[in-house]
Amino acid sequence: MLSEDMWETNLLLFLYRCWASKLTLSIQCSSPIIQDTADMALLCNRGWSSNHVIRVCDEALISPLGYEHWKGQVLTADELHVLYEGIKLNNVNQYDYVLTGYTRDDSFLDMVVDIVQELKRANPNLVYVCDPVLGDNGAMYVPENLLPIYRCKVVPAADIITPNQFEAELLTGRNISSEKDAVEVMNLLHSMGPDTVVITSSDLPSPLGDQYLVALGSQKRVTADGTMVTQQIRMDIPRVDAVFVGTGDLFAAMLLAWTHLHPDNLKMACEKTVSVLCHVIKRTITYAKEVAGPNRRPSPAQLELRMVQSKADIEDPAIVVNAVVL
């Protein structure tokens, strides 16, 4: 059993015993020494905690990017190649899942795709989960030369992607102004490669009012008799008046875990994923307000996601958001 201090120390590699022979390579970029959300979430998840998770980060930072100041080192594509070669030499490169997030270097992103493709040749059943971090609210916060790499290489290699509305629009070249548009964009993303697409947030109006944001998902799968079926869903998620770092990482990691446990039920996987986020955020806000004190705005440090304290909810979340099948 790991102590809380060990959970909160962000190591370069997390190595755990394999459960059901599942092995995950997590390439989490801009990863803070203080905390890494995606890997911590996977390891807190009961269905994943005994799995083997190997983590490589392309930036070792002293704090998340949400802080006013941050320092650290950036891993180059050549250095990633050296690390991966070391993994291969130790014969621990038979992966079942790959999880990737933010990067801002084109050569590093190209190298990630090369690694994923090599791993898929070794294991055709490998599932690649990609959070295609490009920007939000109408603005890119990565170099524009990454977009064609995502469009032409990353998305076609991915099995599950978790863009927000802006990222989905960038990847497809289509605007989303209605639920119908969102469904068409998800279908376009399916045609590019991924079987599962979840638009994690959007500007679409919710039937529950402006205190909710809309997320949408789509999953294509082949049934036992060879029939292709598609399940598409909408979720109305309560808005929170606060800014957190790591919620996208948490979403992608939880979607990986819950689609592993519910591979043919996107509705259930998304309900559990979003419910985990709601529980973690609620606990984080409660803690931050208590520490900050009355009438004081919590600091970035106080708003760091309370992952360890939310372990029970990550393992078995009470469903607080129900998805609607479209």
Report the 10 Å Cβ neighbour count for 226: 6
Nearest residue to 235 via CA among 320, 108, 145, 296: 320
Asked whether residue 18 carries a pLDDT value surpassing 80, the answer given is: no
- Percentage above 90 pLDDT, the chain: 52
More confident residue, 64 or 229: 229
- Residue bearing the bigger pLDDT, 36 or 222: 222
pLDDT at 324 > cutoff 80 = yes
pLDDT band at 28 (very low <50, low <70, confident <90, very high): low
Instruction: Quickly count: other Cβ atoms within 10 Å of residue 17's Cβ.
Output: 8
Residues above pLDDT 70, as percent of the chain? 78
pLDDT in tens, 135-189: 999 999 899 999 999 999 999 999 999 999 999 999 999 999 999 999 999 999 9
Q: Alpha carbon 167 to chain centroid distance?
A: 14
Q: What is the pTM of this model?
A: 0.84
Task: State the pLDDT confidence band at 64, using cuts at 50, 70 and 90.
Answer: very low
pLDDT score of 262 more than 90: yes
Among candidates 213, 222, 200, which has minimal Cα distance to 273?
A: 200
Helix (H) or strand (E) holding 229: strand 228-238
Q: By C-alpha distance, which of 295, 302, 257 is closest to 127?
A: 257
313 is a catalytic site residue:
no
Higher per-residue confidence, 308 vs 226: 226
Non-local CB neighbours of 143 within 8 Å, separated by 6+ positions: 104, 106
Going along the chain from its start, the domains and CATH numbers come out as 7-325 (3.40.1190.20)
Average confidence (pLDDT) over 35-56: 46
Catalytic residue among 249, 264, 313, 316: 249
Residues constituting the chain? 326
List phi, psi (to 5°) of 212.
-125, 145
- Give residue 22's pLDDT band: very low, low, confident or very high (50, 70, 90): low
Q: For the chain, what is the mean pLDDT?
A: 82
